[in-house]
C-alpha cells in the first residue's frame, strides 16, 4: 500500500526540489515506525507525527492513502 | 585598550536638555557585561519604588552587549529597559535588526534617558553629533513615515531609526519600541515609557568598527554559520518562525481561544509554510546575519508592504490561533498595523483573546463594546480592535491597559481568565507541554515572556548581545564573547554574570512589591490539555511551587521567600545595592 508523506519545515529536505509531498510504498500492516525507518528518520531527536490530521506514534498502524505529517519542534525566541 | 565595548554610556536628561557621558570602566563591564544585566544595575541604582513608570523620573535604557555590532551572525541585538508601566516591575525587552549595531558603530554602548521633554524631540547621533532635535512634525506619524522622513532630513538612507509609534505616544501600556520598522523590543511596555518622555525617536548613523580582540575567530565562526546553514539553521533560513505550528496542533498545545483549546484544524492556513507559498516577497536578515530569518510579505490587495516585515510565530499565535483567526490576509494586515502603530503583538493578541473570552461568557456585552461583537475568529474585528487600542478609542481604551489591568477595571470576576505572570501576558508557548517554559515563566524577571530570562543560556545571550536563534553551543558562545573582548573568561565567571543579572532583577522586583506569591502560573495552565500526549499530565500548583523553590535554591535565594541571601549578595558583589 502507499501513504502520502507531508514533511514540514526542515524535514522538507527529504523531498526532491519543488515537491510538496511524496508517496511512499509500505508493506501491508506497516506502522508509522516502519515508514520512518524507510525514510531514514529513526532518530533520537523528537519528531511530531500526525496521521490524517491526528496525533500519532510510531506504533500507529498505517492504511492505504493515509496522510503522514512529520514535524520537528521549533520555537520562536527560545530553545 | 578595551575590546568589544567603548566604555561610553550616553546620558540624556530630556527635561533640561543636558547630555553627558559616563565611563563605567572595564571592571564594571566585565562584571555586568551588557543587555538586561546592565539595565538591572541602573534601575536598582536610580529608580526607587516611588517612581511611577510613566513619570519623568523613570529611566529608559538602551543597552547593547560587547558582541553587538561585531561582524557575526546574530550580533544585531540590543535591549531596552525601564520600570514597566504594564507590570509595575522589572521591564526589559530585546530586539534585533540594525539599530543596536549602528549604535555601537557610532561609538556608544548604551543610552540612558531621564526626565520628560517639554515638546516632542528625537535624538540624533552620529560620530560628530549628539543632539536633541524637534520632533513636532513627527509626532502622531506612523513608524514608516517617521523613518522615511528622518532619512530624508539627514540625507542618508542608512540612518537607522528606533522609535515609538502613535500607540507609544498614547501610552498604550504594551506599546513597543520599534527599530528598522519590523524589529521590536515588544514586551513590558517600553514604548509607553518612551512616549511618556516625549521622545519620538533615536536616529543613529555610525561607521566605526567595534574593536575585537580576535577578529580571526569571529570570522571563523561567521564562516561556519554560512557553511552549515542547512544543517543548523534550515527552518529559520527558509521559513523564519512559525513553520512548526502544525506540530503544536498535533500535540494539543497550540494556544487557541485564550488557551481554552490546544488544537485548531485550520492552522496550516496561517503558518509559515502558507505565508511562503502565498505572500512572501523575500527573507531578510539583521546586521551581519547570514541566517536571514525575517519574513517580508506583500499583499497588494490590502496594501500590505514588505517594509513592515511579516508575521512571525508569536504574532501568528497571539493574534491568530489564540483569537481563533485563520484568515492569513487579515493577519498580514494586522501584523503591519501592529508595526506601524508600534504595539506588542503578544500582549495585543492576549488582551483581545481575554476580551473575546469575556464576550463568549457574557461578561462583556455589546453595551460595553460600543456594539462590536467580539466573536472568535473574526479577522475584521481583530483589525478594528488593534486600531482602537492604538488610538485608545472606545473599548480600545480599556484594552490598552493590558489584560490584567483591564480585568481589574472591569471587575465582574473577569480576572480569572487573564493568562499572565506578574501582569505580563504569557507568550505563545504552553508550559503544560514545554518543560522549558514551565521552569521559565514563573520566575522570569519580566513575567510571562518566553525568551528565557530565567535560564542561563538565553539570559547570557541577551547580556552579551547575541540572537537566541543561532545554533552556537555554550563553548562557542563563550568563545565569541572572549574573541570580542579578549577577557579570557571561564564558563564559571560567565555563569556568575548570569546569576548577578537575575539577582539584580529580583531585587528590583522585590522593591516594586513582588514576592513569592507572584511566582506562579495562571489558573488556566492548571486546567488539563484536552488532546495529545500531554493531556494526561496535569500541571499542578504544587509542581509549579516545586519548580520555583528549586530555582530559588539554585540561585542562592531563600527557599521560602525568594529573597537573595546575604551570602549570595556578598558573593555576587551586590551587597552595596540599595534594596528600597
pLDDT digits (tens, 9 = 90+) for B188-224: 999 999 999 999 999 999 999 999 999 999 999 999 9
Q: Which residue has the higher pLDDT, B119 or A19?
A: B119
Cβ neighbours of B312 in A, within 8 Å: 76
Report pLDDT for A28.
95
CB contact under 8 A, A9 and B468: no
| A45 and B CB contact within 8 Å | no
CB contact under 8 A, B452 and A78: yes
Cβ neighbours of B273 in A, within 8 Å: 8-9
| B122 and A CB contact within 8 Å | no
Q: Which residues of B377-410 are buried (b: 16+ CB within 10 A; e: fewer)?
A: bbbebbbbbbebbbbbebbbbbbbbbbbbbbeeb
Q: Is B204 strand, coil or helix?
A: strand
CB contact under 8 A, A73 and B244: yes
- Cell numbers representing residue B523 in the block: 489558573
Phi, psi (degrees; rounded to nearest 5) at B116: -135, 130
Query: What CA–CA distance (Å, rounded) separates B360 from B40?
Result: 41
Of A55, A75, A79, which has the smallest distance from its Cβ to B250's Cβ?
A55
Cβ neighbours of B533 in A, within 8 Å: 55
Rg (CA), chain A: 12
Q: How far is A51 from chain B (nearest CA, A)?
A: 9
| Smallest CA–CA distance from A53 into chain B, residue | B250
CB contact under 8 A, A79 and B452: yes
Report pLDDT for A18.
63
CB contact under 8 A, A75 and B313: yes
Q: Average pLDDT, stretch A56-62?
A: 95
Per-residue pLDDT tens over the stretch B252-292:
999 999 999 999 999 999 999 999 999 999 999 999 999 99
Per-residue pLDDT tens over the stretch A22-39:
999 999 999 999 999 998
- H runs (alpha helix) in B429-470: 435-438, 456-464
Query: What CA–CA distance (Å, rounded) separates B61 from B100?
Result: 12
Of A1-5, A17-21, B180-184, B544-548, minimum mean pLDDT range: A17-21
| A42 and B CB contact within 8 Å | no
Of B251, B450, B469, which has the smallest distance from its Cβ to A55's Cβ?
B251
Q: What percent of chain B has pLDDT over 70?
A: 99
Query: What CA–CA distance (Å, rounded) separates B273 from B247?
Result: 13
Q: Average pLDDT, stretch B120-134?
A: 97
| B473 and A CB contact within 8 Å | no
The answer to whether residue B566 scores a pLDDT higher than 50 is: yes
Query: What CA–CA distance (Å, rounded) separates B172 from B195?
Result: 9
**CA neighbor of B452 nearest in space, from B476, B486, B429:** B429
Report pLDDT for A42.
74
Residues 6+ apart with CB under 8 A from B147: B161, B163, B180, B181
CB contact under 8 A, B244 and A48: yes
Report pLDDT for B444.
97
Per-residue pLDDT tens over the stretch B438-470:
999 999 999 999 987 899 999 999 999 999 999
Q: Are B160 and B204 in contact (CB under 8 A)?
A: yes
**pLDDT band of A78, cuts 50, 70, 90:** very low
Q: Are A55 and B532 in contact (CB under 8 A)?
A: yes
| A67 and B CB contact within 8 Å | no
| Smallest CA–CA distance from A75 into chain B, residue | B241
Q: Mean pLDDT across chain B, nearest whole number? A: 97
Q: Are B40 and B522 in contact (CB under 8 A)?
A: no
Per-residue pLDDT tens over the stretch B36-90:
999 999 999 999 999 999 999 999 999 999 999 999 999 999 999 999 999 999 9
The answer to whether residue A16 scores a pLDDT higher than 80 is: no
Q: Average pLDDT, stretch B128-157?
A: 98
Cβ neighbours of A77 in B, within 8 Å: 241, 313-314, 427, 450-451, 468-469
Q: Are B73 and B536 in contact (CB under 8 A)?
A: no
The answer to whether residue B520 scores a pLDDT higher than 50 is: yes
The answer to whether residue A49 scores a pLDDT higher than 70 is: yes
CB contact under 8 A, A72 and B247: yes
Rg (CA), chain B: 22
- Cell numbers representing residue B361 in the block: 461568557
Provide the whole-model pTM.
Answer: 0.97
Q: Is B227 strand, coil or helix?
A: helix
- Which residue bears the cell 540561585? B555
Q: How far is CA B201 from CA B150, B161, B169, B475, in A?
A: 9, 7, 11, 37
CB contact under 8 A, A74 and B243: yes
Amino acid at each position: 500500500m502507499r501513504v502520502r508523506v507531508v514533511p514540514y519545515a526542515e524535514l522538507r529536505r527529504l523531498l526532491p526540489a519543488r515537491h510538496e509531498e511524496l508517496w511512499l510504498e509500505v508493506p501491508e500492516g506497516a506502522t508509522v515506525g516502519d515508514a520512518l525507518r524507510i525514510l531514514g528518520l529513526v532518530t533520537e531527536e523528537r519528531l511530531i507525527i500526525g496521521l490524517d490530521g491526528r496525533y500519532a506514534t510510531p506504533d500507529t498502524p498505517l492504511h492505504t492513502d493515509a496522510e503522514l505529517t512529520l514535524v520537528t519542534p521549533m520555537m520562536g525566541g527560545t530553545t | 585598550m578595551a575590546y568589544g565595548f567603548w566604555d561610553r554610556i550616553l546620558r540624556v536628561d530630556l527635561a533640561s536638555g543636558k547630555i553627558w557621558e559616563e565611563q563605567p570602566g572595564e571592571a564594571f563591564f566585565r562584571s555586568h557585561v551588557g543587555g538586561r544585566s546592565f539595565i538591572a544595575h541602573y534601575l536598582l541604582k536610580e529608580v526607587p519604588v516611588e517612581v511611577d513608570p510613566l513619570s519623568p523620573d523613570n529611566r529608559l535604557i538602551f543597552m547593547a552587549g560587547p558582541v553587538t555590532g561585531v561582524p557575526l551572525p546574530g550580533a544585531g541585538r540590543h535591549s531596552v529597559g525601564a520600570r514597566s508601566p504594564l507590570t509595575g516591575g522589572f521591564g526589559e525587552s530585546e530586539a534585533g535588526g540594525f539599530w543596536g549595531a549602528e549604535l555601537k558603530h557610532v561609538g556608544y554602548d548604551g543610552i540612558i534617558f531621564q526626565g520628560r521633554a517639554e515638546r516632542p524631540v528625537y535624538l540624533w547621533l552620529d560620530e560628530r553629533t549628539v543632539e536633541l532635535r524637534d520632533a513636532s512634525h513627527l509626532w502622531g506619524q506612523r513608524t514608516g513615515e517617521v523613518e522615511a522622513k528622518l532619512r530624508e532630513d539627514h540625507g542618508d538612507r542608512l540612518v537607522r531609526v528606533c522609535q515609538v509609534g502613535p500607540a507609544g505616544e498614547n501610552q498604550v501600556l504594551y506599546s513597543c519600541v520599534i527599530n528598522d520598522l519590523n524589529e521590536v523590543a515588544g514586551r513590558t511596555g517600553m514604548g509607553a515609557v518612551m512616549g511618556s518622555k516625549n521622545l519620538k525617536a533615536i536616529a543613529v548613523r555610525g561607521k566605526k568598527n567595534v574593536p575585537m580582540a580576535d577578529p580571526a575567530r569571529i570570522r571563523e565562526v561567521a564562516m561556519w554559520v554560512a557553511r552549515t546553514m542547512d544543517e543548523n539553521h534550515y527552518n529559520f533560513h527558509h521559513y523564519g518562525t512559525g513553520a512548526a505550528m502544525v506540530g503544536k496542533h498535533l500535540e494539543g498545545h497550540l494556544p487557541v481561544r485564550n488557551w481554552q483549546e490546544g488544537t485548531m484544524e485550520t492552522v496550516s492556513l496561517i503558518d509559515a509554510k502558507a505565508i511562503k507559498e502565498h505572500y512572501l516577497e523575500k527573507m531578510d536578515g539583521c546586521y551581519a546575519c547570514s541566517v536571514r530569518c525575517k519574513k517580508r510579505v506583500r499583499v497588494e490587495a490590502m496594501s500590505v508592504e514588505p517594509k513592515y516585515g511579516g508575521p512571525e510565530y508569536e504574532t501568528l499565535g497571539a493574534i491568530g490561533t489564540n483569537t481563533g483567526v485563520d484568515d492569513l490576509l487579515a493577519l498580514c494586515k494586522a501584523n503591519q498595523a501592529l508595526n506601524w502603530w508600534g504595539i506588542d503583538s503578544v500582549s495585543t493578541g492576549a488582551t483581545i483573546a481575554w476580551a473575546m473570552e469575556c464576550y463568549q461568557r457574557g461578561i462583556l456585552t455589546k453595551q460595553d463594546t460600543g456594539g462590536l461583537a467580539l466573536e472568535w475568529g473574526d479577522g475584521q474585528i481583530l483589525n478594528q480592535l488593534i486600531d482602537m487600542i492604538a488610538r485608545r478609542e472606545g473599548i480600545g481604551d480599556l484594552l490598552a491597559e493590558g489584560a490584567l489591568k483591564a480585568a481589574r477595571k472591569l471587575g465582574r470576576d473577569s480576572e480569572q481568565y487573564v493568562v499572565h505572570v506578574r501582569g505580563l501576558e504569557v507568550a505563545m508557548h504552553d508550559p503544560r507541554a514545554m518543560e522549558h517554559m514551565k521552569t521559565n515563566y514563573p520566575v522570569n524577571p519580566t513575567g510571562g515572556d518566553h525568551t528565557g530570562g530565567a535560564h542561563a543560556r538565553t539570559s547570557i545571550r541577551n547580556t552579551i548581545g547575541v540572537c537566541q536563534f543561532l545554533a552556537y553551543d555554550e563553548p562557542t558562545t563563550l568563545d565569541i564573547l572572549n574573541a570580542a573582548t579578549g577577557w579570557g573568561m571561564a564558563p564559571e565567571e560567565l555563569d556568575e554574570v548570569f546569576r548577578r543579572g537575575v539577582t539584580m532583577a529580583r531585587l528590583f522586583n522585590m522593591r516594586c512589591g513582588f514576592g513569592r506569591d507572584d511566582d506562579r502560573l495562571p489558573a488556566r495552565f492548571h486546567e488539563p490539555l484536552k488532546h495529545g500526549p500531554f493531556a494526561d499530565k496535569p500541571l499542578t500548583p504544587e509542581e509549579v511551587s516545586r519548580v520555583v523553590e528549586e530555582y530559588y535554591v539554585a540561585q542562592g535565594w531563600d527557599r521560602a521567600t525568594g529573597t537573595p541571601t546575604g551570602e549570595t549578595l556578598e558573593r555576587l558583589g551586590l551587597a552595596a545595592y540599595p534594596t528600597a
